[in-house]
């Protein structure tokens, strides 16, 4: 049986991929059997992990709405994943029609599908890029052609920094973006932290991810805040994703194993 037409040439369909696993947990269709089996194994190890994925997606939407409500018109979403419902450009452009969004992902399926759905949208692009090489992202011609770094930009790092090991210095990566941004810019992130009572289940999932190219590295809340040193964390601070400005109409179960924060770059 041949591969679907949306599969870019050379994609490895024998190894689980974090972006495709996330797509499956959100109900998407751009994933392979190996990704689905991996997600189901993770769900057995840590029941409720699908709800965690949905909670992270909901937080993304709330963060973008919050930032657009402040007048932020530019978004750089790194580790954006495969588009599903509630994409950044959909949320932002519903509030600001000419809001500009640059999606960046290392997964070719994520990039290819993003480009497909963005066809005809002059205010959004998708490029291939590696968070660990921020200089290449910041200098990318398509990014520079869309985003104006002399104006505020919101950097979105949703559930991606915990795939960056300490050896790659995630704090230094964020500082490079900080140095490129002007006052009034923001960073919004979510990040896995030690799961406390669910530590055994979390350890099983971490072991599963060691079979993929992107192992998970959870960090304490203090270390997560340290990653965005130089930015001022806005209310309600670094909190569980379900506690970050929740929608009163939502009835999401608490998710204490992933924390979220939005922070502002103030004048020096």
- Three-state DSSP at 115 gives helix
Q: How many domains does the chain have?
A: 1
Share of the chain above pLDDT 70, in %: 97
Tell whether 155 is covered by a domain: yes
- The b-or-e profile of 189-213 (16+ CB within 10 A means b, else e) is bbbbbebeebeebbeebbebbeebe
Angle between helices 49-69 and 88-95 (to 10 degrees): 30
The domain in which residue 227 lies consists of 18-264
- Residue-wise pLDDT for 186-219, tens only, equals 999 999 999 988 999 999 999 999 989 899 999 9
Beta strand 258-264 with 239-240 is antiparallel
Res 259 pLDDT > 80: yes
Tell whether 192 is covered by a domain: yes
How far apart CA 17 and CA 106 sit, in angstroms, is 11
Res 1 pLDDT > 60: no
pLDDT category at 261 given cuts 50, 70, 90 is very high
What is the per-residue pLDDT for 164? 97
- Residue-wise pLDDT for 135-180, tens only, equals 999 999 999 999 999 999 999 999 999 999 999 999 999 999 999 9
- Residue-wise pLDDT for 66-91, tens only, equals 999 999 999 999 999 988 878 999 99
Average pLDDT, the chain: 93
Average pLDDT rounded to a whole number, residues 32-59? 95
Tell whether 23 is covered by a domain: yes
What is the per-residue pLDDT for 64? 98
Closest CA to 63 of 265, 264, 266, 261: 261
Beta pairing partners, 190: 158, 260
What is the per-residue pLDDT for 2? 57
pLDDT category at 4 given cuts 50, 70, 90 is low
Find all residues with CB under 8 Å of 186, minimum gap 6, and list them: 67, 70, 72, 152, 153, 154, 155, 231, 262, 263, 264, 265
Tell whether 92 is covered by a domain: yes
Tell whether 229 is covered by a domain: yes
Residue 196 CA, chain-centre distance (Å), reads 23
Contact 261, 225 (CB under 8 A): yes
- Residue-wise pLDDT for 119-128, tens only, equals 999 999 999 9
Tell whether 1 is covered by a domain: no
Closest CA to 132 of 88, 102, 191, 176: 176
Tell whether 7 is covered by a domain: no
Show the beta-strand stretches assigned E in 3-148.
Answer: 74-78, 100-105, 124-128
How far apart CA 38 and CA 73 sit, in angstroms, is 37
pTM of the model: 0.94
Tell whether 13 is covered by a domain: no
CATH number of the domain encompassing residue 240: 3.40.50.150
Cα–Cα distance list, 229 to 72, 104, 176 (Å): 21, 23, 12
Res 7 pLDDT > 80: no
């Amino acid at each position: 049986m041949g591969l679907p037409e949306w599969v870019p040439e050379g994609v490895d369909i024998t190894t689980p991929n974090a972006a495709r696993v996330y797509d499956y947990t959100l109900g998407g269709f751009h994933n392979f059997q190996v990704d689905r089996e991996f997600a189901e194994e993770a769900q057995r190890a840590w029941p409720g992990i699908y709800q965690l994925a949905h909670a992270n997606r909901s937080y993304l939407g709330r963060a973008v709405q919050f930032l657009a409500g402040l007048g932020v018109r530019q978004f750089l979403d790194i580790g954006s994943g495969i588009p599903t419902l509630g994409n950044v450009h959909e949320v932002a452009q519903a509030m600001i029609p000419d809001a500009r969004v640059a999606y960046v992902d290392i997964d070719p399926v994520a990039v290819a599908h993003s480009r497909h759905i963005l066809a005809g949208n002059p205010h959004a692009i998708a490029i291939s890029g590696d968070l660990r090489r921020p200089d290449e992202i910041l200098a990318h011609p398509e990014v520079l052609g869309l985003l104006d770094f002399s104006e505020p930009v919101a950097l979105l790092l949703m559930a991606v920094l915990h795939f960056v090991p300490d050896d790659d210095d995630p704090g230094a990566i964020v500082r490079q973006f900080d140095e490129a941004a002007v006052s009034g810019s923001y960073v919004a992130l979510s990040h896995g932290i030690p799961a406390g009572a669910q530590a055994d289940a979390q350890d099983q999932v971490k072991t599963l991810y060691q079979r993929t190219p992107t192992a998970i590295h959870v960090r304490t809340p203090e270390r997560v805040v340290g990653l965005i040193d130089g930015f001022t964390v806005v209310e309600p601070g670094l909190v569980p994703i379900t506690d970050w400005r929740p929608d009163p109409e939502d009835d999401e179960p608490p998710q204490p194993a992933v924390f979220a924060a939005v922070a502002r770059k103030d004048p020096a």
